[in-house]
Chains A and B, each alone.
Chain A
């Protein structure tokens, strides 16, 4: 009798699991969005609590220091406003000229976002979750930057949040160029450069240099050379700063060089980022007008 009951229970359990797996298949595209949006309010709450305590600790640390900081920031804002005036003029000119040549021009536009969490829920990917989603104009494959350089790209979005794959992730691949070296400097930048042939102890380092592969074998690469996005593939605009060369050597095949690249961005202390969103056709026409 007991065995029979156990068999019935096991059958019911298997039935439930199988039907849920079928539901999973049906709801595949919506499940992650649903779960993420369900936890988004808690993330916002934690973010606001954290901001409150950071503000409070700043206040406690000293009004004098804040006043000095305020003065220097005010001067910097004034300086940047003047520069922006010139840049806006240049942007208009570029837009007009490109429009005249029928090349099209989408002026860059940014959405500022705060980092809600790191690593997702599984920790398999080096990602951050930001508090802006499709509702705010953030979509997949948009470049994400901070004031130092490129942070990564948006890999998934929901209405309220977006996940950003960091440049240092193993699965991140990006076409880059070395500034000022000449032709043939284009390579593929990947995160951390883990492979069986490399020293596995390097994996224990918290900041792992990225790897720029498929560089021409005879190219002379100097330490400290700047790495910028190439603009190939159309996802990222060209010229976004990524990092600088640490060293370079011939790779295992002997056909190319591989350079180790130190990122400009301090990924451990990311708290605010900017998502590059384009305004689209309406934006172009607005600028041209």
Chain B
């Protein structure tokens, strides 16, 4: 719980304070990366808790219509628990791949909800595409860094450990 608190708080602060990337004014997805880490590499209860916490922070800090990020983050958890964990290895690369797919869904759903709620003007499709591309490009390194750091914190604090020599940092190791 403490590790999750530290991870979500740090991610919220970074999400808030790191300036957006030009030219499409895209913010690095720190909270999404934390959510994906818990979805891919920890037990399902922690995954749901992480998704809810990150979703609340993302919607609250970002001015997004309430429930959008929460819903998408929980959807990511469901997909990971029921499909990804059975098909893909449990490691940082998987986190990066899932965060890319999640990034596309997050960005698109946020735009659709903002448009539907009348809080945003309709964008040219090329602008939206460019925004999604930049967002996806940011997802890869951010998810890698976050997955590595939070895993390290989990291992150091005893929440997770080496499962065996071949498979390091298993989500169900403990």
Contact = CB atoms under 8 A, between A and B. Distances in A.
B41 to A, nearest CB: 17
Contact of B20 (A28, A36, A46, A118): A118
Interface in A1-54: 6, 9-10, 13, 16-17, 20-21, 24-25, 28, 31-32, 34-36, 38-39, 42-43, 46
A170 B66 CA distance: 22
A116 interface: yes
B97 interface: no
A80 B57 CA distance: 45
14 contacts: A10-B78, A13-B44, A17-B74, A20-B56, A24-B59, A28-B66, A39-B16, A42-B13, A42-B17, A43-B13, A120-B61, A122-B64, A194-B124, A200-B124
B8 to A, nearest CB: 11
Contact of A117 (B16, B23, B57, B127): B16
A42 B30 CA distance: 16
B58 A204 contact: no
Nearest to B119: A171
A24 B67 contact: yes
Nearest to B126: A200
Given A124-B120, A163-B63, A171-B120, 8 more contacts: A9-B44, A21-B67, A46-B13, A117-B16, A117-B19, A120-B61, A170-B123, A171-B121
Contacts of B57: 35, 121
Contact of B62 (A10, A43, A121): A121
Interface residues of A, number: 45
B77 interface: yes
A205 interface: yes
B105 to A, nearest CB: 14
A34 B26 contact: no
A24 B70 contact: yes
Interface of B: 9, 12-13, 15-17, 19-20, 22-27, 31, 44, 48, 52, 56-64, 66-67, 70-71, 74, 77-78, 81-82, 110-111, 114, 119-121, 123-124, 126-127, 130
| 3 nearest A-B pairs in the assembled complex, by CB-CB distance | A122-B62, A35-B60, A121-B61
A119 B131 CA distance: 14
Given A9-B44, A21-B67, A203-B127, A118 B78 contact: no
A125 interface: yes
Q: Which of B15, B56, B60 has the most CB of A within 10 A?
A: B60
Interface in A137-178: 156, 163, 170-171
Contacts of A35: 12, 56-57, 60-61
Contacts of B48: 13, 16
A46 to B, nearest CB: 6
Given A13-B78, A25-B66, A39-B13, A34 B60 contact: yes
A51 B15 CA distance: 20
A200 B71 contact: no
